[in-house]
Amino acid sequence: MEYEIDYADVKPDEERSKTYKWPPPRKFPFDPLFTRYSTLKAYVFTFPQELPLTFGRWMCRQHPEAYSISFRRLTLQVPTFENVRAGQKMVEENSMITDLNSVVCTDVNQ
């Protein structure tokens, strides 16, 4: 999942938004924190309408300087064995980005 933070108070020479990936990369992928991240990600993908109330509030607290946060789902298509043998790059070419929802942090932090 990707999320993009829009900042309200930025100087002219600073970036207005920044994109991150969630969950962050883990050194040991099967620890308890990874399990919690995976469960939350499955919940968010199943019920995207609940995103502002659940995950959105938490992300706004993690980034207090944010004005709004937009969430996107990044889906990668796994290549078939035939395509791998043919040398085609399927992962980058056939990835799909879906806009899930966005949340205005000033609304949730009140």
Given a cut of 70, whether residue 17 has pLDDT beyond it is yes
pLDDT at residue 90 in the model: 61
CA–CA dist 49, 45 (Å, integer)? 9
Structure tokens at 75: 């889906």
| Per-residue pLDDT reduced to its tens digit, 22-35 | 777 777 767 788 88
| Per-residue pLDDT reduced to its tens digit, 30-85 | 778 888 887 877 887 788 788 877 788 888 888 888 888 888 887 777 777 887 78
- Residue/partner pairs of 46-54 with CB below 8 Å, 24 or more apart: 48/73, 48/100, 48/101, 49/101, 51/100, 51/101, 51/103, 52/101, 52/102, 52/103, 52/108
Q: Where are the alpha helices (DSSP H) in 10-103?
A: 32-46, 57-62, 81-86, 90-93
β-strand partners of 17: 6
On whether the pTM is more than 0.75, the answer is no
pLDDT band at 10 (very low <50, low <70, confident <90, very high): low
Nearest to 2 by CA among 73, 67, 99, 66: 73
